[in-house]
Amino acid sequence: MNRLDEITNKTLFISCIVPVYNEEANILPFFLALRDKLASLTTRYEMIAINDGSRDSSQTQLQIAHEQLGVKVLQFSRNFGKETAITAGLEYVTGDVTIIMDADFQHPFATFDDFLAKWAEGYDMVYGLRTSRDDEKALKRLFANTFYKLMLSISNADIPPNAGDFRLLDRKVVAALNQTKERVRFMKGLYSWVGYKNIGVPFDVQDRAAGKSSWRFMKLFDLAITGIVSFSDIPLRAWSIIGFLVSCLAFLSIIYTIIDTLLFGVTVPGYATLLIVVTFFGGIQLLSIGILGEYIARIFNEVKERPKYLLNEKLGFLED
């Protein structure tokens, strides 16, 4: 049976991964709407919620969703982050295709039809493309645009601008992602790294049904640094080039000083000039050490070989 037949006959097994963090007001209405949408598409589906250490009553609401709607639940022992929550969900899905989405209603269910249509055409990964970022603050838009341009220029990860985690993955893409072992993860880069035939589908971001986003600027900045360090060694090479150029300038300065001294004698150097030079090169050294530190810190986290996450509870899985 080909892909189109599976969709037409409603035999396609669809898994849905939903990371949850402080979404108590959205959980029950969201999973009810998600169940109805999946039931209209297929007779075989599963919904997996990953509670990423929520501090509100999300776990209680997920318990109810499990009992009333059949939602499977992975409860983290603490907050490990959305990238890790998605990773956990991918390790537990069993469907032919997997759809990743948020629990705040900003990802429209109607886009599922577009995802499946592209999958039926032979695409293994179909990602949602935001049509607009007008709902975000100007600083966040500027930061996002700068980041995508920077990643495109310094890394081999082809990350489409305005593409997030809202996407459909064929089971072979899921299997490929599950083979990646890094603990500090940047999922957008990993989606690109595994390759496979992929295409984007535009969608309009909906308003949040309730609550507010937990993403803050420093979290986004840390995620951006993770993406750059994980998928590019250009920063390391750049400082090697800068170091070489500085050494050349220093060598030329030495030659100039020797010739000037031989021709005109010793002159008293200015303290202001000396202070500027020392401060400038001290700053360059500290910056280069900081960049090295970012790479070393991630190596340190990897070699400790701690598990990517710890589960406090599982609901709805066979081993329960």
Work out the angle at residue 241's Cα, subtended by the Cα atoms of residues 240 and 246, and round it to the nearest 5 degrees.
100
Strand partners, 100: 17, 167
For residue 220, the model assigns a pLDDT of 63
Domain ranges for the chain, please list them: 3-214+307-315, 234-303
pTM for this model (two decimals): 0.73
Q: Per-residue pLDDT for 125 more than 60?
A: yes
Residue 320 CB neighbours (<10 A): 8
Listed in order, strand segments (DSSP E) in the chain are 13-20, 44-51, 72-76, 97-100, 125-130, 163-170, 198-203, 311-315
Give the mean model confidence (pLDDT) for residues 32-36.
89
Higher pLDDT pick, 15 / 148: 15
Instruction: Give the single-character DSSP code of 72.
Output: E
Asked whether the beta carbons of 133 and 141 are under 8 A apart, the reply is yes
Q: What is the CATH number of domain 3-214+307-315?
A: 3.90.550.10
Is residue 46 classed as helix, strand or coil in its secondary structure?
strand
Task: Give residue 270's pLDDT band: very low, low, confident or very high (50, 70, 90).
Answer: low
Instruction: Give the single-character DSSP code of 205.
Output: P
Phi/psi zone of residue 24: left (φ > 0), alpha (ψ -120 to 50 degrees), beta? alpha
Rounded Cα–Cα distance for residues 259 and 251 (Å): 13
For residue 268, the model assigns a pLDDT of 55
Least confident of 27-36, 145-154, 261-270: 261-270
Nearest residue to 80 (alpha-carbon basis) of 12, 5, 157, 21: 21
pLDDT above 70: percentage of residues in the chain: 69
For residue 293, the model assigns a pLDDT of 75
b/e burial code for range 225-250 (CB count within 10 A of at least 16 → b): bbbbbbbbeebeeebeeeeeeeeeee
pLDDT above 90: percentage of residues in the chain: 6
Question: Which sign, positive or negative, has the C-alpha torsion 74, 71, 167, 30?
Answer: negative
Q: What is the length of the chain?
A: 320
Average pLDDT taken over every residue of the chain:
78
Taking only the tens place, the pLDDT of each residue in 188-224 is 878 888 888 888 888 887 776 665 665 566 666 666 6
- Report the amino acid identity of residue 206: Q
For residue 279, the model assigns a pLDDT of 65
Residue with tokens 């309730």: 210
Rounded Cα–Cα distance for residues 146 and 181 (Å): 28
Sheet holding 198-203, edge to edge: 198-203, 125-130, 163-170, 97-100, 13-20, 44-51, 72-76, 311-315
Q: Per-residue pLDDT for 169 more than 90?
A: yes
